[in-house]
Amino acid sequence: MATLDYVWLGVLAVFQGPELFSILGLPIPVTLLMILCGFLLGIVVGATPGLAGPVAMAISLPILISVFGYTPDALLPVMGCLIGIMKGATIGGAVPAILFNTPGTPDAFMTTLDGYPMAQQGNAKKALRVAHFASVSGDTFSDIVLVICAPFLALLVEGYLDLPEKTALLILSLSFIAAAVGGSPAKGLISTGLGLLVAFIGTGADFYPRLSMGTEALSQGIALGPAILGVLIIGAVFHELAGQWRHKEVVSCAQPQNEIGSDRLSLGDIRKLLPYIGRSAIVGTVVGALPGIGSTLAATIGYTMGRRRHHKIGKPGDPAFGEGAMEGIAATEAANSSVSGANLIPVLSLGIPGNTAAVFLILAADSIGGFNPGPSVFKFTTDTVNPELVIAFGLFTAMFVANFLNWTIGGIFMRSMGIMARVPRQLLLPVVLILTLTAIYVQETRLEVIWFTLAFGLLGYGMRLLSISPLPFVIAFILGGKLESTARQAFDATGSDPFFLFNNPIAAVFMLLSIAIIFLASHRKPEQK
Amino acid sequence: MIKKRLYQDTNFVTGLVFSILALLLLFVWIPLDSDTGLIEKVRRQVAIGDALAPTIAGVFLLIGGGLLMLLERNGDNQPAMDSNSVIFVGRVFAMLVLSFLVMRYAGPLAVELMNALQGSEREYRLLRDTAPWKWIGYVLGGTIAICGTISLTEGRFSPRALVVALLAIAALIAIFDLPFDDLLLPPNGDF
């Protein structure tokens, strides 16, 4: 089979997959419908302060698996829905940021700087249109880069890296994530160490499950769901609840002013915005391709670059950045949205999740089976069909379908979601808590997992309290088993060479880089952090 | 002033705690709770032992703790510790544990009560997928969890919290239980 045949099979897997129902004789494929559902749900949760894409993904995953089962046919509808949520939440986050000065998602914080002043000046709808246009443009650009880069990177890894180099690459990724996430390499290392430790409990090659303290509960190892959802979702809910309790916040939303002037984007406006969107999209894509670096950093860099450009070429009378410049919204939204597609480059090509959305895609693939994200996916076999490659191109197709929805109906749906910012968080968060715990239970059907999830929730809360990012924990927890098995194989394959990570030039470079990254990040001056 | 001083030391204390935990892990837990060492000899061939991977995790913790104490001790990322918030989260956690215990035992207790009143000998295990028995624990425990958490956060009990809890639980039953024959709400999978 040729490369284009695989691309075509992936497209067909989405458009000619299992049919859910038909309208006027036209079959509606289930994957398309799930992408639409996920996309709309994503906009709703993105527009609700206190919720975000990961919460919706955590809740949806067990329901989706219950509906579609554990067969390979379930992969595209389930992962398509998760991709829809990821994209919807990205644009939804701008709604409360612009209308109520409350970012729906953390990466929409920079959008408040110009979005809210625009709303106060009576240009709320125009600000939302700018945010939508910039967000979708950045996202589409990032997806194109993903489709081009991921297969090449995977082929490069498979072609040139052997077991020692792959082990060193995993260590380099962990070290990079520890150094880059959260602004403190020391805390990143602690988070990574905790994640690895939890991954190694109750596992190993020996008959006795290590670190299990002889208990039945620990001897089977820690399941992915309770640990990840506990630290990411329950921990975040505890932290938010504590914030609500401390401030006794009553959500008082400012009323946006009545619209002044046209709310449409003229051709002149678009021409003015495009250079900002283009630069931010490139920044976001580059930042997104590096595992662990979030969209918040991309938004900050994009905004800073945009402000510098605006300061240089801006005309007198144009609103400055921070005072309601639509270029500010465009620079921020294009940067944070272009992270989402590029974030899937390391997960699809290397099997290394770079953000929470990628973590949930791995969780879905792991739960359903039949698809193991990593370099082996992109094996272009000619004599037989590689089903994983078809799924990979199906996922790319799902991303473009979600982009199409985003261009067509995303803006209208997004602009109607202002009401979600009025939902009181102190009522919403406890419901999310029980919803998440129920979702975990229906999958595992043991009360034990609830205790584990609550315990990991406490750990997640403690980490947030100490300003330790939970993302390195989650990524290290996912990669821990893979790191150990690759290292064992590499050790055996090199004839039990204790220096197998340093005898090979590529592996040695990766290892030196791992050490250098931590060293350099630790010695940055405080003002640079 | 005292509070500021406390904030300035948070990184140091965190680093110290994690360094001690790492040392305990490396020198107590791993040696006592792994059957093979860092490396082992199997049929005259040297292989990686089960203790090596957790030792690497311990080294990550030790380096992280050490860097926090030495290089980031006076960093500007000192978290502001608020003991009242920790106590609040402790209360929410305790309330959640209590509500899940209610969830676990309410259904079987209701069946026992019915047996005592009607002289029947029914078992909850056989009724775990039959309405209304299958919902008793979930409705009671879930309502306590949601209503209790809202009340703790707002600092008072309100009828609104109870209504939100009951509506949310009804919605969750509609999402997870009514459309699926193969899903079991908590705690019914444990019977």
**Are the beta carbons of A93 and A46 closer than 8 angstroms?**
yes
User: What string of DSSP letters covers B84-120?
Assistant: HHHHHHHHHHHHHHHHHHHHHHHHHHHHHHHHHHH--
Backbone region of residue A51 per phi and psi (left: phi > 0; alpha: psi in -120 to 50; beta: other values): beta
CA dist A125 and A263 (Å) reads: 6
User: For residue A257, is it within any domain?
Assistant: no
Nearest CA to A37 out of A7, A69, A67, A73 is that of: A67
Find the CB nearest A487 among B10, B48, B172: B48
Select from A174, A210, A527 the residue whose CB has the most chain B CBs within 10 Å, as the one to mutate to test that interface: A210
Residue carrying structure tokens 């931010």: A280
Instruction: Please identify among residues 111-170 of chain A the ones whose CB lies closer than 8 Å to any CB of chain B.
Output: none
Contact across the interface for A190 and B65, Cβ inside 8 Å: yes
Contact across the interface for A246 and B82, Cβ inside 8 Å: yes
* CA distance to partner chain B, nearest, from residue A172 (Å): 13
Nearest CA to B14 out of A464, A383, A169, A34 is that of: A464
Contact across the interface for B54 and A445, Cβ inside 8 Å: no
Contact across the interface for B96 and A491, Cβ inside 8 Å: no
Percent helix, strand, coil in chain A, to 5, is 75, 0, 25
- pLDDT tens readout for residues A59-110: 888 888 888 888 888 899 999 999 999 989 888 888 888 887 777 666 777 8
- Per-residue confidence band for A259, with pLDDT thresholds at 50, 70 and 90: low
Query: Is the predicted pLDDT of residue A256 greater than 60, yes or no?
Result: no
Select from B28, B32, B67 the residue whose CB has the most chain A CBs within 10 Å, as the one to mutate to test that interface: B67
Query: Is the predicted pLDDT of residue A201 greater than 90, yes or no?
Result: yes
CA dist B184 and B177 (Å) reads: 7
At residue A209's C-alpha, the angle toward residues A207 and A215, to 5°, is: 125
Burial degree of A270 (CB within 10 A; 0-12, 13-18, 19+): middle
User: What string of DSSP letters covers A283-316?
Assistant: HHHHHHHSTT--HHHHHHHHHHHHHHHHHHHPPT
CA dist A323 and B102 (Å) reads: 54
**Are the beta carbons of B40 and A428 closer than 8 angstroms?**
no
User: For residue A253, is it within any domain?
Assistant: no
Predicted ipTM of the assembly: 0.93
Query: Is the predicted pLDDT of residue A171 greater than 80, yes or no?
Result: yes
Domain count, chain A: 1
Distances (CA, A) of B129 to A166, A271, B113, B132: 49, 62, 18, 9
| Residue-range definition of the domain harbouring residue A387 | 3-248+264-528
Q: What is the pLDDT of chain B when averaged over all its residues?
A: 89
Find the CB nearest A526 among B50, B61, B75: B75
* CA distance to partner chain B, nearest, from residue A338 (Å): 28
User: For residue A482, is it within any domain?
Assistant: yes
User: For residue A236, is it within any domain?
Assistant: yes
- Of the two residues A464 and A524, the one the predictor is more confident about is A464
Distances (CA, A) of B187 to A112, A220, A418: 44, 21, 37
Contact across the interface for A190 and B47, Cβ inside 8 Å: no
Whether chain B has a CB inside 8 Å of the CB on A248: the answer is yes
Select from B7, B69, B73, B149 the residue whose CB has the most chain A CBs within 10 Å, as the one to mutate to test that interface: B149
Domain ranges in chain B are 2-70, 83-190
Please tell me the predicted confidence (pLDDT) of residue A63.
82
Helices and strands, number each (H, E), in chain B: 7, 2
Residue carrying structure tokens 């969780």: A363
User: For residue A259, is it within any domain?
Assistant: no
Burial degree of B111 (CB within 10 A; 0-12, 13-18, 19+): buried
User: For residue A430, is it within any domain?
Assistant: yes
AA identity, residue A239: H
- pLDDT tens readout for residues B104-133: 999 999 999 999 998 888 888 888 888 889
Query: Is the predicted pLDDT of residue A138 greater than 90, yes or no?
Result: yes
Distances (CA, A) of B66 to A189, A512, B14, B16, B20: 10, 20, 10, 7, 10
- Per-residue confidence band for A159, with pLDDT thresholds at 50, 70 and 90: confident
Contact across the interface for A204 and B53, Cβ inside 8 Å: yes
Instruction: Please identify among residues 192-221 of chain A the ones whose CB lies closer than 8 Å to any CB of chain B.
Output: 192-194, 196-197, 199-200, 204-208, 210-213
Distances (CA, A) of B48 to A3, A499, A511: 40, 13, 19
